[in-house]
Every structure is written in structure tokens, then in C-alpha cells.
Structure 1
Amino acid sequence: MCMAPGGMSEDARMSEAAARPLLNVAETDRLRTTLDAHYTVDVVNATLDWEGQAALSRGDYAGAARALAGDPTSELIRLFLLAEPIETAVLERAVGRENAEALHRAGIVATNGGTATARLELRPYAESDAPSDADQTPAESGWWVLSDFGSDVRPGPLSSDHVLGVGAAALLLAQSTMRRPVERALDIGTGCGIQSLHLSRHCDRVTSTDISLRALRFAATSAALGGVEFDLREGSLLEPVAGEEFDLIVSNPPFVMSPGWSDETGGYTYRDGGLAGDELCRRLVGGLPARLRSGGTAQLLANWAITAGEEVGERVQSWLPDGVDAWIWQREVADPGEYVSLWLRDGGEVPGTQAWRKRYNLWRDWFADAGIVAVGMGLISLRRSDAAARTLVFEDVPQAIEQPIGGEISAWFDRGAWLATYSDAEILQSAFRVAPDVVLRRDSAHSAASSPVAGIGAPGWQTSALTLVQRSGMRWELETDDAVAGLLAGCDGRTPLSLLVALLADSRGLSLDAVAVSLAPVVRDLVARGVLLPPASSR
């Protein structure tokens, strides 16, 4: 491939030029001014009030429409969020004739016979991605995101080149990203550009790739309206950035597991990568570390196959090369029928139709032939360490976590690096403290054998379980016992762990060495999870 000056390939420069916004600079600036006055998240929420917001969030679009009046914001909500046609004259009053004409020329709005209909969704967006967002001004935190309408708004099968908007998966990735000021960031499969918008807050240069030129033009429009620029490149996965390195990589790739893309099985660019099963995720995960600078991080959403004869954690961990640490969350597990139904509905297919039955059965037959009994869905977080020893953790994370969680994921890697530098003996000499958000919950069961004369509140209740509960962040709930609970009670940040272990061993008449050996992995796990904090460490 011929390389152009500056290290970017000639093909990449051509795709960047082609991936121009749908609106020119003057049109973008004029529209942004109008949207900033009438169509921000705050203005839309105030217009909908609590009842309209609740209706919109649950997909009750008729209920949301009942909260609207005839003001400019209400008309823009009808047009761009509810996909309702409005009179062209009403649109011109809401945004001005020049803006209305520009939206028509760009293909964002169609005007015909005095009626204006949105062809694309234009959504105000200001989701938090870090705790510090509370201090940001609306200009720093608010954007407008251009995408296609989902099948929940416009029923029916989606087009194969559908560009996904702001959904649950995009929000999970945005709120899970480890955010720190860096020079170069990469968004693989940018779609409407939502992840790149978040990256633009703390990254000097953002490169955004997608196999769909249509998606890149949507991302370019979202960026222009937000007053930022992306280095947009057309191509599959890591191909457009071959030989380059980044400080941070994020990806919401086409991870859906299917037989592959064909006329019979159908498919969508935004979710189907064209490779059977979890092969696309395997290739992407395996290739990411080579595109990271030392110490760089990568995070992506992924699906993986669960088979009868294989440990699912081993399968995903086998995708990773040496020199990288990884924390892999399995957030959900779906059986084949549940999984196929989920994604057929997502594509706008209607249960009971001939098209549904055909695609459902083809998909289910493929799962059976491949020996796949379930599908795991989750988040993979990586950090390039270049160390000989690596930390790979795969675990179920089904609980409701505190969002945004990216800071806690970053802290997990930091704690893992600390643990890797200390032997068990050195850890025993350290003074830990219990994290301030951790409490001990004691569950008690009633004992019918207790004496009725013992009095109210006396031994009729017997402790049945002890649980360490983390009230923020990951919100772990970890079963424990009296020995570990007693050990943690003495962790005040000043007392060496060795002294607490000695006291515990003496109180129970056990060998000090035996107690130390048995507690070492427990302490390491509690440190990794942020329940115990190492010296001079805070969450």
C-alpha cells in the first residue's frame, strides 16, 4: 500500500476526504447555533418534563408526544426523536428557512408537499463518562448525534447499511472506558461517532475507523456539530491503522455471533462482521496489543461461544498474546433461542412471519451444528504491560455497577500491578485498610430450638452468613467467614498484616505458617477487588 506524507496511507487520505460531513461549514455553524438554543439535552428534558421523559425512556412515544406543545423544541422532538412528520412551515419557524433547506439538501430531512419528515435521527446527547462531568459546562458536555432511526421508532426490517444510534451497548462502553489525558486514541467501528465524541474530551488526536463510508459521514457530521474533528478512515477493524500505535483504543465492534453474512441469513454492517461465530472478536482481541503503546489500554464489547467441552474463560483468555493484562467481564449469558430472538427483533423482524421463521431456524441449526450451547456477552479491558508474567481474569459480573465505572477499571489494573511486584511475604509486612465503602453484612436465621424464656432478642437468631458488601464502584458482595471478618476488622492502615495473622492463628490454636499460606490468596483477591487498600493507596 502506498504511503502518503505523515505516515498515513494514500487510501486512508482518500477515505478521509470522502468521509466529509453532510453539511458544509457555514450550514453546520448556523444549525449548531439554533440547536444550542432550542435542542440541547437540558432544554429537551425541561420540555418533556418528568412524565414525558419517563415515556420516552420506556419507548412510549405516544406518551412522550402528549407532553409536547407547539414551541420550537417540541417540534424538533416530534421530528427527530419521535419520527413524526410536521409541516414544513412549522420546521422553518422552529429552525429558520436556511437551516430547513440545509437539512433537506443534506438528506437529513425530506420535504414534500408541505410536509417535513426526518430521514435520520438527530439526538441531543450529554451522557456522563467520568465523575468530573458534573463540573463541565453544557458546551463541554453536550453534542448532537446523527444516526438512523431504530426499529422501535420506525418498525420493520432495517437496511443492511443501518447506522446505529445511542443504545445501551454504546453507553456501557462509554461509561466503562478508562479515561485519562492521552495523545492518540482509536475508535474502531465508530458508527455514528459516539465513542469518538467522548474521546475528544481527553485525547489530543482521535482516529475513527469504520467499514461503512455512510457511517463515517454520519460520524463526521456529529463531530462537526460538536465542534470537534476526527481522523476518519474507511476500512475493516485494524486494517486502516496498520503499523501505528495508540495510547487508548475502544471498540463497539460487530460482535453478533451468527453463521456469517449471506443472502439467506441476512446481516447488518453495524452488528454482523461477516465471520462465523466469535472469530471476529478473536481476531480483534488478538490484534489490539500490537496497536497499543507500552502502558496503553484497550476496551471493547464482545460476544463469545460457550460449548459443552470447553471452559469459557479459557476460550477468551486464549485469544490474548503475551505482554498484556486483561480483565474480562461476562455480564450476561443467553441460550441460543434467546440470543437469536433478541437479534432478530433488534433488526426489526416480526415474530411469526415467514422471514422470521426462516432466519430463526437457519441460525438455530448453525448453533446446534457448531456445538454452541450458550453465548457469553461482556466487556474486555486490556493493558499492555510487556511484562513476562501477566494477569488474566475472567469473571461473571452480573450485578448492577455504579456508572461511570471506568475509573474503577483503571484502579483494578493499578492494584494488579502493585500485587505483581510484592511477594506473599512482603504483603504480610504491609499495613492495609478497609475501603470506606465496604460494610460487613450479617444475615441471621431463626432457630426454633431456642428457649422461649430467653427473652426478646436473645439467641433465637443465629448467624447464617457473613457478606462483605461494597456500596459503590463494582458493588461486589463477597461471602466471608468470622476469621476473615476478624482480620479485616484490624486493618486500620497502621497495623502490619503479619501481626493480625499471628493474633488470628494464636486465637484459634493454628500454625502461623498454615494460616498465612491460606490467607495469602484471600488477601490478594480482596486487594484486587478494592475491598482492601494497599499502603498509600486510595480508590
Structure 2
Amino acid sequence: MGMSGEIPLITPPGVYAPQQDTELLMHALARERVGPSTDVLDLGTGSGALALRAARLGARVTAVDIDWRAVLTTRLNALLARRRVIVRHGDLTAAVHGRTYDLVVSNPPYVPSPALRLPSRSPERAWDAGPDGRVFVNRVCDEAPAALRAGGVLLLVHSALCGTRPTLRRLARSGFEATVTDRAFVPFGPVLSSRRTWLRRQGLLTDENDDREELVVIRAWQS
């Protein structure tokens, strides 16, 4: 059953299926004041799970993904759920240039990868984010201010493997106040398990955390 609630989400091969990070961000989303007057932007929507949850809360929702398969999947899931979601194809906020929102949510790719080049095809495109895992996290931190209205909020989820403090510092440089609101420890999946030796060589793993990762949701607002 998909995490959007009412009906199962369609998640074809190559499209990121909702997992613990999606669920953690949904809990954070549920605490925000979201209603018919709220404009929400979902960056890196994947299957559209977060976009549909925001739509069910009554928000006006725009979802963005750079992968055409994800765009079409989100459109189909919105149709099946009978929810209105505007879905744009594009590279993060470039797809909605000049528009602003009350709430931006993002579950971007954040898995550290030994590959020097970012993948251009699914499925790795949905999670690989450079050797430090921060390529897209950094971009969301840098681009969110221009996409948010005064008093707007950013909700961002990623793994602590790519650094929680660097995210908080980067958001501060972008003019945000930010704090970690949610944490969860989850077992390594197949991707991280296959990279355990490389992650240890990179200094991203210790003996205490070589079989699970910490997920964090960061809430940021403009001070």
C-alpha cells in the first residue's frame, strides 16, 4: 500500500518508491498548517507521495522532478487519487522559476556514491548524489529562499551520512533559521550495504553505525 493513504501508489521500475524517509517527512508535513490557502512545492517528487499527501490536506500543490518517468508517474497517481497536482518537468526550482510558495518539501537524492559523475538514468538517479551525498541537498538549501514567500517554511529530509551540521550551516548562510525536528534510525538497504567498505574508507561509517543510517528532517524558516 502506498503511503499516500487512500489507494496504492503506482511505482514503476526506476521511480523512487516511498520509504522511511518519505514517511518521516510526511510526519513533519502533518504538523504544518496546511490548508486550501497553502501553496506547496514538492522538489524531487518521485512517485508523488508527498505531493498527494499535501493535496489531501487541502493545499494547492506543485510537484517537480527531472526524470520524465517520475513526472508521468506522479500525474497518473494524482489522477487515480482524484487530486489536483500540477506536475512540472525540470531541475529543482528551475522548473518553477519566478514562482513562490508557502511551503517547500524535498526528499532529494542524498546517498554518497563512489562515482564521480552523477547518473543520468534511473534508478540510481533517484538516490546517488556525489561522493559526499550533498550535491542536491546543497542546491535545495541554496535555491529554497527564492522559492519561499515571507514566513515560508522548508522541510528537507536526508541521511546524516551526508552531514546534518553542514546543512544547518548552509541554511543559516541562506538566511534561514533551521532545526532538526525528526530523526529515525533505519537498517541499511541494498545500496548502502553494497557500499559499506567504501563508506568506511571515506570516514562516513564507524564500527557503531556500520549497518544502519540516521535519517533527519530539517525544518527551516526565514528569520
TM over 0.5: yes
Structure 1 residue 209 and structure 2 residue 69: aligned?
Answer: no
The separation in 2 between residues aligned to 1:329 and 1:229, in whole angstroms, is 29
Q: Tell me the amino acid that sits aligned with residue 379 of structure 1.
A: V
Q: What is the 5 A alignment of 1:422-461? A: none
Structure 1 residue 301 and structure 2 residue 157: aligned?
Answer: yes
1:302 Cα deviation after fit: 1.6
Q: What is the 5 A alignment of 1:223-242? A: 223-242=78-97
1:383 Cα deviation after fit: 1.7
Q: What is the 5 A alignment of 1:325-364? A: 325-329=177-181, 331=183, 342-343=188-189, 345-346=190-191, 356=194, 360-364=196-200
* Percentage of pairs with the same residue: 26
Q: Evaluate the alpha carbon distance shift between residue 361 and residue 167 of structure 1 in structure 2; reply closer, same or farther with a 3 A threshold.
A: closer
The equivalent position to 1:180 in structure 2, one of 25, 30, 34, is: 34
Q: Tell me the amino acid that sits aligned with residue 146 of structure 1.
A: I
The separation in 1 between residues aligned to 2:214 and 2:7, in whole angstroms, is 33
Deviations 1:372-403 (A, max 9, x none): 45675311111223xxxxxxxxxxxxxxxxxx
The answer to whether the 8 A contact 2:133-2:162 is kept is: no
Q: Evaluate the alpha carbon distance shift between residue 275 and residue 248 of structure 1 in structure 2; reply closer, same or farther with a 3 A threshold.
A: farther
> Which of structures 1 and 2 has the larger relative contact order (alpha carbons within 8 angstroms, sep 6+)?
2
Q: Evaluate the alpha carbon distance shift between residue 279 and residue 175 of structure 1 in structure 2; reply closer, same or farther with a 3 A threshold.
A: same
The separation in 2 between residues aligned to 1:318 and 1:201, in whole angstroms, is 33
The separation in 1 between residues aligned to 2:87 and 2:97, in whole angstroms, is 15
The equivalent position to 1:146 in structure 2, one of 10, 29, 32, is: 10
1:241 Cα deviation after fit: 1.9
Deviations 1:55-97 (A, max 9, x none): xxxxxxxxxxxxxxxxxxxxxxxxxxxxxxxxxxxxxxxxxxx
Aligned to 1:428: none
The equivalent position to 2:138 in structure 1, one of 282, 289, 301, is: 282
- Structure with the bigger percentage of helix: 1
- TM-score normalised to the size of structure 2? 0.78
Deviations 1:454-494 (A, max 9, x none): xxxxxxxxxxxxxxxxxxxxxxxxxxxxxxxxxxxxxxxxx
SS in 1 for 2:10: strand
Deviations 1:120-177 (A, max 9, x none): xxx46564xxxxxxxxxxxxxx2331103xxxxxxxxxxxx62122322211111211
Q: Evaluate the alpha carbon distance shift between residue 246 and residue 126 of structure 1 in structure 2; reply closer, same or farther with a 3 A threshold.
A: closer
Q: CA RMSD in A?
A: 3.2
The separation in 1 between residues aligned to 2:18 and 2:185, in whole angstroms, is 23
Number of aligned pairs? 211
The separation in 1 between residues aligned to 2:49 and 2:82, in whole angstroms, is 14
Q: Evaluate the alpha carbon distance shift between residue 288 and residue 126 of structure 1 in structure 2; reply closer, same or farther with a 3 A threshold.
A: closer
1:205 Cα deviation after fit: 2.5
The answer to whether the 8 A contact 1:259-1:277 is kept is: no
Aligned to 1:324: 176
Unaligned runs of 5+ in 1: 1-122, 128-141, 149-160, 386-539
Q: Evaluate the alpha carbon distance shift between residue 263 and residue 143 of structure 1 in structure 2; reply closer, same or farther with a 3 A threshold.
A: closer
The equivalent position to 2:51 in structure 1, one of 189, 192, 196, is: 196
The answer to whether the 8 A contact 2:42-2:50 is kept is: yes
Unaligned runs of 5+ in 2: 207-212
Q: Tell me the amino acid that sits aligned with residue 25 of structure 2.
A: L
1:209 Cα deviation after fit: 0.6
Q: Evaluate the alpha carbon distance shift between residue 204 and residue 279 of structure 1 in structure 2; reply closer, same or farther with a 3 A threshold.
A: closer
1:362 Cα deviation after fit: 4.5
- TM-score normalised to the size of structure 1? 0.35
The separation in 2 between residues aligned to 1:258 and 1:324, in whole angstroms, is 28
